[in-house]
Each structure stands twice: as structure tokens, then as C-alpha cells.
Amino acid sequence: MDDRSNAAPKSCGACTLCCKVMAIRELDKPRGQWCGHCRPGVGCTIYDERPPSCRAFRCLWLLDPLAPDFAKPDRSKAVLDVDSNGDRLVAHCDPATPTAWRNEPLYSYLKGWARKGWADGKAVAAMSGRRVWVITPNEDIDIGELDPRAPFSIEKHADGTVSVHVLPPRAEAEASDPAK
């Protein structure tokens, strides 16, 4: 039953994984590397002065009262985040376990999101550093290593197959590139 009123409040606890997997523009911190201000498993050493993007960030597990315990990032090794348009759910995997998105029960959970959103044009992806996979209801598409500033689009064909198109990098997009 979808009863959010009874959902227990959540907190990050000992999780600090977003301080590794996400890029922090203000700090020029690339994706997939620990922030120098993080004590992994403990917290932020500059908490009161942390940048605005850190203050604003809440992963999907934290935001969604119904997100299951197994999807907590320090357990699943993947930080779930929805892009700014709300069109794409991304599992940002710890580079130490780049295919964490394939582990059950997280994999079935992501497939469930893919099935729910597919008809409405929403998509699910997994990332680890530069490597990107698109997770559709019927297949998983490895689109290889991408410039993090390069958007990609997903085209669905009448026969049920899917094509992924990588577009030129946007200058204003994420500045921190783990490959540099």
C-alpha cells in the first residue's frame, strides 16, 4: 500500500557516497573521486561552509520515503539521482564497484523504474565515471565512455528496438571531467 504517512524518516547516517560519485562544480571535484573534505563513512569536515550544490543535494533514496533499504547508497554502492528535467533516473555507481547497478535486488528495482517510465518517455541510466549504460525495460545498452558534458538522446523504434544518440558536449555542462 502506498502509505507515505507511515514511512519512517530517513537520514544519511554513515553514508557519504555522494561525496565520491558526484561532481562538485564549486570545488572542481570530478565524479568518482572522494572530495578532499570528506571523511568517508563519517561526514563533511567543512559542513557549515560546504558549497551550495552540496547543500542542495539529496539523493533519490533520501527523498523518496518508499525507496527500499537495499537502495541506500552505502549498501547498494550506487547513488540514485533524477536529472533536472525529471526525465532520467541515473544510478551513479561507485567506481570501486562500477557495475553495482547490475546487482540484485537493485537491478530489478531499476528495471521496475524503467518499465514504469518508458511509455512516458522517461529513461533509466547507470554511470560509473565516464562509462554509461541505458537501462530499458527489455535490454541494457552499453554506450561506452562519454564526455560527461555530452548529452544523449534515446530513440525508440516501432519494432521495439532502441537507439542511443550521443550529442556534442555542451560547454556550460559539467566542468569536472574525471578523465582529465
> With binding defined as CB under 6 A, does residue 24 bind ligand SF4?
yes
Which one of the spans 11-19, 141-149, 155-163, 172-180 is the region binding ligand SF4 (CB under 6 A)? 11-19
Site for ligand SF4 in 29-48 (CB under 6 A): 35, 37-38, 44, 46
> With binding defined as CB under 6 A, does residue 124 bind ligand SF4?
no
> With binding defined as CB under 6 A, does residue 62 bind ligand SF4?
yes
Tell me which residue of 58, 61, 143, 163 sits closest to 110, measured CA to CA.
61
CA dihedral 63, 59, 131, 20 (to 10 degrees): -170
> With binding defined as CB under 6 A, does residue 122 bind ligand SF4?
no
Nearer to ligand SF4, 93 or 154 (CB): 93
> With binding defined as CB under 6 A, does residue 89 bind ligand SF4?
no
CA dihedral 61, 64, 70, 71 (to 10 degrees): -40
Nearer to ligand SF4, 58 or 170 (CB): 58
Nearer to ligand SF4, 41 or 105 (CB): 41
How distant, in Å, are the alpha carbons of 63, 110, 145, 157 from that of 139? Answer: 28, 12, 18, 14
Q: CB 97: neighbour CB atoms within 10 A?
A: 14
> With binding defined as CB under 6 A, does residue 73 bind ligand SF4?
yes
Which one of the spans 52-60, 122-130, 155-163, 166-174 is the region binding ligand SF4 (CB under 6 A)? 52-60
Least spacing, CB of residue 163 vs ligand SF4, in Å = 32
Nearer to ligand SF4, 74 or 151 (CB): 74
Nearer to ligand SF4, 59 or 125 (CB): 59
> With binding defined as CB under 6 A, does residue 16 bind ligand SF4?
yes
Q: CB 18: neighbour CB atoms within 10 A?
A: 20
**Upstream peptide bond of 105 is cis (omega within 30 degrees of 0):** yes
86 sits in the region (left: phi over 0; alpha: psi -120 to 50; else beta) called: left
Contacts of 1 (CB under 8 A, 6+ apart): none
